[in-house]
Structure 1
């Protein structure tokens, strides 16, 4: 687990995700984006594997947006 203010290794595609937004941000915000990105990937795998329903996916994703406050989440849609 990363400590506050540090950014762990980015998951595949994350750098492109940030570059598309053409933003620079403090490490804390970048960590929130990274955490949201990771949670979204895990949720997608759970959905694809039949472990959760589409409704559960959307509810959990909404909670994750509130938790991680990602500013770039709209690019993922």
Structure 2
């Protein structure tokens, strides 16, 4: 897979492909599995939207996913 990383200064694509380690890939998978589980809990009204948002934020901090921030509605 070839990904390109946004630069923080001007938010344009860099020319260098982003190299993903096995650990980063595992973190990405873990993030999405945990997120899916908490979405299910929210849908079943076992947790509130506010609780979900807090958990989701912690989840992003713990696993630092590459795609997670792009796929969530709360920064």
TM over 0.5: yes
What is the aligned length? 57
Distance 2:45 2:55 in 1: 15
Cα RMSD (Å):
1.4
Which one has a bigger Cα radius of gyration?
2
User: Which runs of 5 or more residues in structure 2 are unaligned?
Assistant: 4-18
- Please state which structure has a larger fraction of its residues in helix: 1
Indicate the structure whose relative CO is greater, using CA pairs within 8 Å and at least 6 residues apart: 1
User: Which runs of 5 or more residues in structure 1 are unaligned?
Assistant: 1-18
Instruction: Give every structure 1 segment of 4 or more consecutive aligned residues whose post-TM-superposition deviation is greater than 6 Å.
Output: none
- Please state which structure has a larger fraction of its residues in strand: 2
* TM-score, normalisation: structure 2: 0.69
